[in-house]
Amino acid sequence: MPSKIKKINFISAYDLNKWKKLKADLAINIDSFQEMPKQTIYKFLNNLFAIANYAYIKNPVCKYNPELLGIKTSKKFDVFSLGLMKQVRNIYDEKQLIKMRKIFNKKYCPSKIHKIIKSTPCSLYGYYQNTLYKKY
């Protein structure tokens, strides 16, 4: 098992020198793009994800009003300005989520030569989308 672990590399979004030398079979982002400024996301997408043969992304397709879940809002953090999917939607409205999933899949596509090979909502939280892209 340790020999397989050596194949995994964790690289900062800002370490472009390492990315220039990298060949990636698979790039993964799970549940963190919505917490990043868009310029950081684009660094990942345009560099690491664009060169990967496969890209797996699992993130929310929209923002939601915390009061929808009975959570009092706070102005301390502006989470609504982060990520690429900034639209606030009702996470219990499947019609709205279907529209947002299509937008999500387009916005997070790593390059023009990547195509979706599988995309499905997360079974536990329908406002999260699992998408696997393949470079052709």
Q: Is residue 10 part of a domain?
A: no
Q: Is residue 18 part of a domain?
A: no
Mind listing the pLDDT tens digit for each residue in 8-57?
777 776 787 887 778 889 999 999 999 999 999 998 899 889 999 999 99
Give the per-residue pLDDT at 1: 59
Mind listing the pLDDT tens digit for each residue in 86-126?
999 999 999 999 999 999 999 999 999 999 999 999 999 99
Q: Which residues pair with 129 in a beta bridge?
A: 59, 121
- In the numeric block, the tokens 């393949």 are attached to 134
Q: Is residue 11 part of a domain?
A: no
Q: Is residue 88 part of a domain?
A: yes
Q: Is residue 112 part of a domain?
A: yes
Q: Is residue 3 part of a domain?
A: no
- Look up residue 73 and give its amino acid: T
Number of domains in the chain: 1
Q: Is residue 6 part of a domain?
A: no
Q: Is residue 119 part of a domain?
A: yes
Give the per-residue pLDDT at 104: 98
CA-wise closest residue to 47 among 77, 27, 73:
27
Q: How far apart are CA 43 and CA 29, in angstroms?
A: 13
Q: How far apart are CA 54 and CA 115, in angstroms?
A: 9
Q: Which residues constitute the domain of residue 104?
A: 24-135
Give the per-residue pLDDT at 16: 77
Residue 74 has pLDDT above 70, yes or no: no
Residue 105 DSSP SS3: helix
